[in-house]
Amino acid sequence: MNLLDRAIAAFSPQAGLRRAQARMSLQAIAHYRSASVTRRTASVRAVAGDADAVAAMARRQIALSARDVVRNNAVAERAVQVLVNAIIGTGIEPKLITGDDGLREDWKVRLRQLDSVLIDADGMSTLAGLQRLMVRAMIIDGEALMILPREAGPNGLVQVRVLEADFLDDRRQGRAENSVNALYDGIEYGPDGRVVAYHLYDDHPGSAVSKPDWKGLTSSRVSADRVIHLFRPDRPGQRRGVSWFAPVLDDLVALADNDEAQMMRQNIAACFAAFWRSDKTGEAAGIPPKLAPGLIQQIGHDDEVVFANPPEVTGYDDFARIHLRRIAAGLGITYEALTGDLSGVNYSSARIGRMEMAANVEAWQWTLVMPQLCAPMADWILRGWAYAAPNLISALRNARISYTPPPPAIADPKTEIQVAVQKVEAGLSSRAAEIRKLGYEPAEIDAEITADTAMRQSLAALKAPAVAAAAQDETQKEDRSDD
């Protein structure tokens, strides 16, 4: 401490301590170049605050921009399709885990309801379709909502409805009415920090049939146990999600702008124009107004024809490839999956590149979609089932619903299956685990194999007399031929 610091510390120890701490922090920063703002890092925005404070002002604008880009940009739409197909595919299938054979038979009836549009309150999508809709909205907007019913419908059927995050009444901030609960963007939190309710608009605030003035919109309080809020938490304590397109929007817009400029250059390059110079006045006799294929035209000694030199169109492939690779990397998918361009890879390199994307997809499935979306729905499915069949309540208490993600795409099934068999034989994996990796339930496979074996044995028993008679006839023919 210098003389000034000691003097300040003598009159105000706290101020002296802050000065000493600040000086030590400056000395520490001096050892990290990334902690100082230079000409090369002038665009970095080092903003303090939690995840929601940083994204609060930009979240809605990013979501609206992402929607516009996806609507009008084929690359963005393709990226969404790749992500949704990889994470959900034809649906993350619910499987009933129970030792009760009768319950498993009843589950088949329940599963047919889930595979129909009866589960959708709007009557448009199956369970798999609702899963795809939720994940698609999460990718584009950053978050999505699903509303569960207050109670099960007829026959214990659970009908749900998917809503955009726009339904959150973000006018509600601060404290809830007559409550110690806190409100943030229409989400109500209890004293322990857990979500207890959601305040949702009764109509979409941007709907053509809703009131144009947001102040005239009404919202209702919905208990948290009836709402599924799906989003990807990128920072601890994050309350709401941000569009997955946030890191790549600039590249998508730049690529689209460059495409438009490139098309203009192509049009200009295709314009093969000629300029006729002459000192003559009036109409030029003998000079054609347009060039035609195979034209042979005689011009005067005083005439001169100069042809335009259009710009060359080069370098576009490299520029586009760089941006497409950055877009793919920012979204966690491969360049080949985004573009369908396989010209620069062989089987081995494509498979290695796919492994990293497969790790991302598996993480999103098991740590995001299944715990946030599938698990709450499983509880409601069992609850509705118990409501419709009170006599099964005791059996349902010992049952649970697990979810099996869709099988990954296999480029070489023969090799992949051989590897799975070798892992099971070597004791490195179980048969059930390898079956689940293919998107099937081991219990169902075993039941089908048992049924097939019984069927083959039954058919063999039916064919046995005929086979024996045929064998006897053949033996008699051989005996007669020997005689």
Boundaries of every domain in the chain: 3-35, 56-264+355-409
Question: Could you give the CA distance from residue 439 to residue 342 in angstroms, rounded to a whole number?
Answer: 27
Cβ-contact 118, 157 below 8 angstroms: yes
Task: Say what the pLDDT of residue 29 is.
Answer: 59
The predicted pLDDT at position 326 comes to 92
Report pLDDT for 434: 83
**What values do phi and psi take at 168, rounded to 5?**
-65, 125
pLDDT computed for residue 304 by the predictor: 73
Helix (H/G/I), strand (E/B), else coil: 93: strand
* Helix H or strand E segment including 401: strand 400-404
Spans of the chain below 50 pLDDT: none
Which pLDDT belongs to residue 316? 75
The percent helix, strand, coil of the chain (3-state, each to 5) is 55, 10, 35
The pLDDT assigned to 442 comes to 80
CB 70 within 8 A of CB 81: no
List the structure tokens of 207: 């709907």
Q: Where are the beta strands (DSSP E) in 186-301?
A: 187-189, 195-201, 219-223, 227-231, 274-277
Q: Quick one: pLDDT at residue 104?
A: 81
Provide the 10 A C-beta neighbour count for residue 250. Answer: 13
Please tell me what DSSP assigns to residue 152.
-
